Chain A
Amino acid sequence: MKKFSLLIIAMMLVLSACGKSGSNNGAGDNSVASAAEQGSGGQENNKTSGNGEEKPVELSFYFPVAVGGPITGFIDKLAADFHQENPAITVKPIYAGSYQDTMTKVVTAVQGGNSPDLAVLLSTELYSLLEMNALEELTPRFSQDYFGGFYEAFMSNTKSGDQVWSVPFQRSTIVMYYNKDMFKAANLDPEKAPANWSELRDFAQKLTVKDSAGKVSQWGLEIPSTGYQYWMLQALSLQTGTNIVSNDGTEVYFNKPEVKEALQFYTDLGRKDKVMPEGVLEWATVPSDFISGKTAMMFHTTGNLSKVKSDAKFDFGVAYLPANKNYGSPTGGGNLYVFKDIPEERKAVAIKFIEFLTQPERVAQWSIDTGYVGTTKAAYDTELLKNYVAGFPQAAVARDQMEYASSELSTYQNGQVTKLFNDNIQSALLGEITPEEALEKSQQQADDILKKYRK
């Protein structure tokens, strides 16, 4: 027995040693990629240096897929096109799952001392990544004009103060989708979407259809309330005249009167006005409900535009989110991040790839393929997108709404702050607590978390 336990202890010592070194080189494909690059480098170098070109570089590029459609195919094509233009550079796209899975993989890799070169992550992850000291600052790498080309609302989530840390890529915003056939059936003008909250409530009332047994067969409106309910509430708050977050990620304004008004409206739609299903509405089933005709209107991300376009068997419209005091919608989606802990030559190449991805033609094509909003004004000036918008005017709504858009909720400890806010919103929507209580509680919990980041 003694011998046996000795053996275990000895083995554990050995293995804990292996474990450490193992976790260092096992953390990502990156080390494999760089090793391969070094291994084959000499050979390829001979080949290309004959043409007087630069050294071959391989770039690992993590990306998530968050909307319907063959996104991986588009990304692979972009990487291949880039390789065509720059034969010395190979971009290796690595599909990493959902946004959250991608973030998990990236953080694990960074903490293992093995940063990827480039990644698409949620724009709201900025402060988490800054806290890890994982990011390469991009302000000095591009000209001011370059950043000026993007819509201002998209740029606001790339910055902390004046420093730019990422470049807008697959960006979205919330828009309203409505079923024109149902509008006609309810004697509403199918070309006129509700412009303000009272119209929204009024239209939704008219569009809610009950069968003979008194059971609702068609809802007027659906606003999803899982996963991104904070985003929806943020939209309603912006329309009422305030944003819920400061632009340095250390303050939230959850208990402002405007936010209370917004949450009250959100809960009333289901619980009092009965024009929206009561309780919690699944993020992913809301578009299915819209496509299958269960609801006449929905608030959803413009990222689903291509899916709705291809699946809906009826004429549908896309409109601004209705205003309360003014129009408003938060932006959303993912940005391109470059990591700090990689060699300078790979940083330079990553910047080059970002420039390639954000050229007007490519942004235009990407927007057409996916439904994401074109991130630059120049993209909407291309023939490609002009023609597309002419044939499918719904695609321009998100762009026009940009004028009223604001940055998305993004703070230090963003995961935790968002989650507690989400839970409390759901609690209010379910009638467990009042909107007022939900927001006071959220504010206090968020303050507890954020106070240590304030100077």
Chain B
Amino acid sequence: MTRHLLQVFRRYNWKDNILAYALLLPSLIFLVIFTFYPMIKVLDLSFYESVMNERRFAGLELYGHVLRDEVFLKVLRNNMLLALVTVPVSILLALYMAVWVNGKLRGRSLIRAAFFYPTLIPMIAIANIWLFIYTPDYGLLDKFLGLFGIEGPNWLGDPAWVLVSMMGMLIWKESGYFMIFFLAGLQVLPKEIYQAAELDGAGPLRKFRTITLPLVMPTTLFVLIIATTNSFKLVDHLYIMTKGGPNNASNLLLYHIYETAFSFWDMGKASVLTVILLVILLVISVFYYGYLDKRIHY
């Protein structure tokens, strides 16, 4: 009897699995073609020195080269800095804007649209707009600062300012996008809790700190992951605005990979850089999902 039941159970489970696999198959195919296969391929390529037509097995030699490379270290430092600044700032700004436009205020949808519109413009167009904003002297920013008698620096031409300028643009572009997620998160929060809190005499700040903030944490985690990966994926803007210059002061990892692969035709080194980028993103995701995720109340 039990054996018979077990058999039925097994057969049933197997069929169930087949269906599940069949349903997963389409996504799986794409995942394999566009994610797993390239990842394995790039790992393989990273052990070969390949420039133009020549190809030679180099083992871990290229990793050594890259890790000692001055330009790579600078690029890595820039990218870390960019992530450390833009991620928290754009998330806080997004949350602030979301709370703002979630309230009852006049012209709410217009403001929402205004905050969201940077997300709708193509990357290249954004880069060109900001190129104009940052033009010294007659650019929008310098014209504005000129009203207060301030003379702006050469925003994109000064190594001390170029990364800051890129950060400004990135925050502008990202916070509107993240705002939408927070807005969605805020709108599903139960009204009763707020009403109860109001009865207890809680002010807006306290309501935000003890109710809103903990309840939007799942959204925050999601946004955090997107924001961090985005800060490592910046490439279009660099291509248009600075080409990583001056003297690599605004060069970032993905652009450096592009440059190594398609200007220097050094596929070996580009593959090593790609593997490093993958490891960085993997470590970040593991940290977020393995550590932060457990500390969030859903």
Contact = CB atoms under 8 A, between A and B. Distances in A.
Interface stretch (B155-163, B211-219, B274-282): B155-163
Interface string A260-291: 00000000000000000111111001001000
B137 interface: yes
B214 to A, nearest CB: 36
B263 A415 contact: yes
B137 A294 contact: yes
A132 B264 CA distance: 13
A213 B146 CA distance: 12
A215 interface: yes
Contact of A292 (B138, B242, B259): B138
Interface stretch (A12-20, A46-54, A150-158): A12-20
A427 interface: yes
Contacts of A162: none
A104 B262 contact: yes
A3 interface: yes
B52 A128 contact: yes
Contacts, number: 95
Contacts of B243: 226-227
B246 A131 contact: no
Interface residues of A, number: 44
Interface in B128-157: 131, 135-138, 149, 151, 154, 156-157
A282 B157 contact: yes
A419 B258 CA distance: 13
Interface in B11-33: 17, 21, 28-29, 32-33
B245 interface: yes
Contacts of A19: 33, 37
Contacts of A430: 158-159, 246-247
Contacts of B242: 226
B36 interface: yes
Contact of A11 (B32, B137, B265): B32
A128 B53 CA distance: 10
B78 interface: no
A426 B265 contact: no
Contact of B247 (A104, A288, A432): A432
Contacts of A36: none
A11 B158 contact: no
Contacts of A225: 157, 246
B246 A426 contact: yes
B156 A282 contact: yes
B51 interface: yes
B236 interface: no
B52 A131 contact: yes
Contacts of B157: 225-226, 277, 279-282
A280 B246 contact: yes
B133 to A, nearest CB: 12
Interface in A81-116: 100, 103-104, 107
Best-buried of B151, B158, B243 by chain A (most CB within 10 Å): B243
B37 A432 contact: no
A226 B138 contact: no
Contacts of B136: 277
A11 B29 contact: yes
Contacts of B32: 8, 11-12, 15
Given A226-B245, A426-B245, A279 B158 contact: yes
Nearest to A215: B151
A72 interface: no
B138 A277 contact: no
A75 B87 CA distance: 46
Contacts of B293: none
Given A277-B136, A415-B265, A12 B36 contact: yes
Interface of A: 3-4, 7-8, 11-12, 15-16, 19, 100, 103-104, 107, 128, 131-133, 213, 215, 225-227, 277-282, 285, 288, 292, 294, 413, 415-416, 419, 422-424, 426-427, 429-430, 432
12 contacts: A8-B28, A11-B29, A103-B262, A128-B265, A131-B52, A226-B157, A226-B246, A277-B154, A279-B157, A282-B131, A416-B266, A423-B247
The 9 A-B pairs at the shortest CB distance, nearest first, are namely A280-B157, A415-B263, A280-B246, A426-B247, A416-B264, A131-B52, A279-B157, A415-B264, A427-B247
